[in-house]
Chain A
């Protein structure tokens, strides 16, 4: 919905609209329809057939492999680059300012949510219990992140403790998934935070 509305509002594809800002941030390996060779893409796909560069999100696939809620491909390094930009309040670590601090705060601020939880604009916030980020992240708005249950991937950042964890996984590989990833994600997060002394 959001993706298609952005395309209507800007009169360009989501990929084209995204390209400029990702280039400025330096996320050169992030895009819809990845074009690199098969050896550089973790295989997946939404049917029983293994595919490279095809999203496992069925809605995104029907919408032409790009949507606001699925279809993007990226690397751990690129996602770390973006979360560092947010942890630095809109500024790249050693380069220049991309977003104003007020803008970053607005989009990371906790907002009301219909259910027993809160959200930020595009990000999840730390829930009251059973967070995939484990038990050692600061309460939101100091922490923000997102989990992708089908693949087991997650990204969580803590502004107060100055840490980002990015785990990209292939749990959506056809026929490859047998367990709920949330408790395993929490165990990984807790182990990392313990290792870091938190």
Chain B
């Protein structure tokens, strides 16, 4: 049994490596080096996969701009700050899980769970509205500053107060 599994693993690995080796990544590498050269980023990790197999993974560049000094190379297994990718990578699976467990549905109103949000016409905004970015609110920093009469929130409490009290720019 274990011998059969070993054979399958060897065949799968060979096929994977063979398929990866069949592609020419010269233009891809050139495009990445061009981004590094133009200061878009100093380093990155690129991964390419099909639904069942990772066919390419490689690290490029350094963890910070060199500026005349040494900077450590990026490693392929490094953790990166995802920024806006947090929404699809964290909220998307979480809300799919909540949907299947009927804890939160996309059609649920945000104000049902967060009563502080129920003001300035935001009562009927749903989770789906927030995910689709068509809730009518503009939760950007400048918008929040305007909400608090020009005061930029600097603490979690004042920031959440500003978000909860933000006015609609349009109705959905």
Contacts and interface: CB of A to CB of B under 8 A. Distances in A.
A1 B91 CA distance: 12
A62 B85 contact: no
Interface residues of B, number: 83
Contacts of B52: 84, 88, 93-94
Dominant secondary structure at the B interface: mixed
A1 B111 CA distance: 11
Interface string B89-124: 111111111111001101000100110010000000
B35 A184 contact: yes
A56 interface: yes
Interface in B40-93: 40-52, 54, 57, 63-65, 72, 74-93
Contacts of B94: 6, 17-18, 21
B72 to A, nearest CB: 8
B40 A74 contact: no
B93 A152 contact: no
Interface in B20-45: 23-25, 27-28, 30-32, 34-35, 38-45
B77 A192 contact: no
Interface residues of A, number: 109
Contact of B63 (A42, A119, A184): A42
A119 B132 contact: yes
A167 B44 contact: yes
B93 A3 contact: no
Given A64-B156, A184-B38, A169 B80 contact: yes
Nearest to A188: B31
B160 interface: yes
B44 A170 contact: yes
Contact of A43 (B25, B64, B153, B159): B64
A62 B63 CA distance: 25
Given A153-B82, A195-B27, A176 B39 contact: yes
Interface in A26-78: 29-30, 34, 36, 39-44, 50, 55-60, 62-64, 67-77
B117 A107 contact: no
Contacts of B40: 152, 169, 171, 177-179, 181, 184
Given A79-B89, A80-B49, A195-B25, 16 more contacts: A1-B117, A25-B93, A64-B156, A70-B83, A71-B86, A75-B78, A76-B76, A80-B54, A93-B51, A111-B128, A114-B170, A166-B48, A169-B41, A169-B43, A170-B64, A179-B40
30 contacts: A1-B110, A2-B131, A5-B113, A5-B114, A5-B117, A6-B104, A9-B113, A39-B75, A42-B81, A58-B141, A62-B153, A62-B156, A69-B87, A75-B45, A75-B77, A84-B51, A88-B51, A111-B132, A121-B95, A121-B132, A122-B92, A146-B87, A148-B82, A152-B41, A152-B44, A164-B48, A167-B44, A184-B31, A187-B35, A191-B28
In the A-B complex, the 10 residue pairs with the closest CB atoms: A122-B92, A178-B39, A171-B41, A169-B44, A87-B51, A148-B83, A169-B41, A76-B47, A168-B80, A72-B86
